[in-house]
Structure 1
């Protein structure tokens, strides 16, 4: 199933619904497939169908006796019929499909006794990972639809969504804040019970949410691995105005630190986040101090250690691409020039292992703050 997930991610990178499939016989991969109806203008180009076609060619027979098909999403009726016709021994799927699933969710073609072939079915394998990939994809689609409905101010630019192909997207956008005056702020809102559209208000006894601030020239993509290591914390990750998917004023003078702090203060209030802890890129310390002076912080303030951000080789190449994505030309890059004194020449990123180490440091900082009576929540 992990290989099928790789195929699904490749489909997402190509703009297709992220579904992947792998055909296996006797422990050996025979064929793979990924969703491609959009690219091929073919309604039958589902991941399962692609894997079945490739498997038939590889084995020289449309009957795929003894084969198991792994697919990240419960098959539809079309694919289920093809699997039965191919005489598959077994089908293993990840996430259920409550709208079109034909392996038990909506109907069960595999359970029809009179059919001349019976295929064993197992569902729910790596269901959380498979489902999360689909949820992220459709969340980004909804965000893109919302962005297209929001006009861009005459004195600002908006990076085309195509520049972010294959990169994590925000959960939501905000544009109604007084300080924004119609500019669009992109952000992600991670945590228990949060879906990006209707975040819960802060409640007594809960740890403060964590505001995660990227550095100059970066955007919220920097923190993409952190939610997996702090799943019990609400993580608020904005793309600062001028960066990432947020709108980009054309004038450098627009990027006063106090104005950025005002935007963040109003945004946190709109999310009912309450006082927050702060995890920030070290060179953004002046903005962190501006937020502290506004009284929106509670609990730890942790600057990200430089040693955790060092990347080399392919990781550095990927990071450089991600940081360049929001800036297709000089007109989009006023924020880069405004923050030039705080930008570092080396490419930096927060990889999976570094995110785990940073999460551990954050928990230690929280524990120290609780022990010192500096935050308003109990031990636990």
Structure 2
């Protein structure tokens, strides 16, 4: 009997894109059950890989390259995605991402800026974007989005009336702010997509949680948090506690200050690719990411897929590099899971030949499905 299988994974960061993951699982599945109808719907959560996911779902979309200022000042080429409804998608990772920094250090953590993100938003708007979606993830900076706002025309000045230095290093010197000098924004606004709910400040804020990943020392984290607090005071807004304000080094907060909306990335992308309807018609859904653990159930791609599948009473199989104990068969967990590490015998083997073991996982899932 032919069954309908939806494969909707996130990327396995550093080893395989979401499209590659979905294709490899499908190959394995077809080797066991070639008669089944398989639909590949690669997903993302608002971080790196969002362009790939939306491009697959929108045949009328097109990639557009532009040159912007990289996170530490050097020119960098960034790919944007123009969607068929005249919305544009910008990945922060493409403009201001940590992978754009050749050598991460305490200095780059202090100086890194989102200026290039603002340049990309402006470019898309000039090209006719009615709305700009910003995927917040993999940021190199902790500048509260100030760099992006400055690129859009906002003025952040010292007591002497000079533009503040870029990066978190300049936030403490803010004395005057003028957002009214922003002269060009997309007519239907900006939507920030993120997979985190961190506030701007404090022990769960942008500096404390994400600063160390960007090269910040404990002393730097305290300084960065103080800089972000000074920014919040200067802007005088109440957005610092909004879930997601701390995303991408506080870029969520900066975008909120100019009227942007923050959305859970995985849910927004699921809606964009019509995943709820696709799942409702399926007999089984396969999802996954590099490491499936309790955090996966809090806003990541697997949680979105599991919730949608539960609404339609469709079983879910998870394929991941690692699978934490106690989640399979739990109230919010999948019915089955396959760990590449267990299939390959080690983390190293799973990461070295990721697509091979994804193929094996797809085959194993198909055999279990056939036996059910």
TM over 0.5, shorter chain: no
Tell me which protein shows more helix as a share of its residues: 2
- TM-score (ref. length: structure 2): 0.31
Q: Higher Cα Rg: structure 1 or 2?
A: 1
Higher relative CO (Cα under 8 Å, sequence separation at least 6) belongs to 2
- TM-score (ref. length: structure 1): 0.30
